[in-house]
């Protein structure tokens, strides 16, 4: 498996991987209405959302199997691993690489219910439970720091 910086040409494959992961993995912790809203990623707005972020992809068998991004303050915004490649250390490698490349002294993230155990396993702890809103749907997540 190889970790490299995200390139614009990766956009469609990353969005497809994220959408499939949300629909299949996160569906155990969120209802169908929430999943529908969360997985409706707008490709036209995607690139603008990555401004000022270090974004990485994980490649295995010539396929993007993971994606993560972090801003300069150490805020980890998105972390997704393809449903068929989970529990293989890919998320850990993405997060570790971002943290090593970041100039920040501490790190934070709003972790989904699904991702919370992973973040705890890599040293983050919950500061508070949070209610996020996206296009009219509310989501429980957790503000976590390391």
- Please count the other Cβ atoms lying within 10 Å of the Cβ belonging to residue 138: 10
- Domain span at 24: 2-105
For residue 58, being part of any structural domain is answered with yes
pLDDT reading at 103 higher than 80: yes
Q: Look at residue 36 in the predicted model and tell me its pLDDT.
A: 86
Answer yes or no: pTM beyond 0.85.
yes
- Encode pLDDT of 51-91 as tens digits: 789 999 999 999 999 999 999 999 999 999 999 999 999 99
Residue-wise pLDDT for 110-138, tens only, equals: 999 999 999 999 999 999 999 988 888 88
Would you list the DSSP string of 66-107? EEEEEETTSEEEEEEE-GGGTTSSHHHHHHHHHHHH---SS-
Question: Total structural domains in the chain?
Answer: 1
CATH of the domain at 12: 3.40.630.30
Domain contains 144: no
Within-domain flag for 117: no
Within a domain: 132: no
137, part of any domain:
no
Residue 118 lies in a domain: no
Question: What is the pLDDT at residue 33?
Answer: 84
38-51 residue pLDDT tens: 888 888 777 777 77
């Amino acid at each position: 498996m190889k970790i490299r910086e995200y390139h614009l040409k990766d956009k469609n494959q990353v969005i497809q991987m994220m959408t499939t992961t949300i629909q299949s993995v996160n569906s155990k912790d969120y209802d169908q209405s929430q999943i529908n809203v969360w997985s409706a990623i707008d490709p036209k707005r995607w690139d603008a959302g990555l401004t000022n972020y270090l974004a990485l992809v994980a490649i295995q068998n010539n396929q993007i199997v993971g994606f993560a991004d972090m801003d300069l303050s150490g805020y980890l915004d998105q972390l997704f691993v393809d449903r068929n490649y989970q529990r293989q250390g890919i998320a850990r490698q993405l997060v570790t690489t971002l943290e090593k490349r970041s100039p920040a002294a501490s790190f934070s993230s709003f972790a989904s219910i699904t991702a919370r155990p992973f973040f705890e396993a890599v040293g983050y702890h919950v500061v508070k439970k949070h209610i996020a809103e996206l296009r009219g749907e509310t989501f429980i997540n957790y503000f976590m720091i390391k």
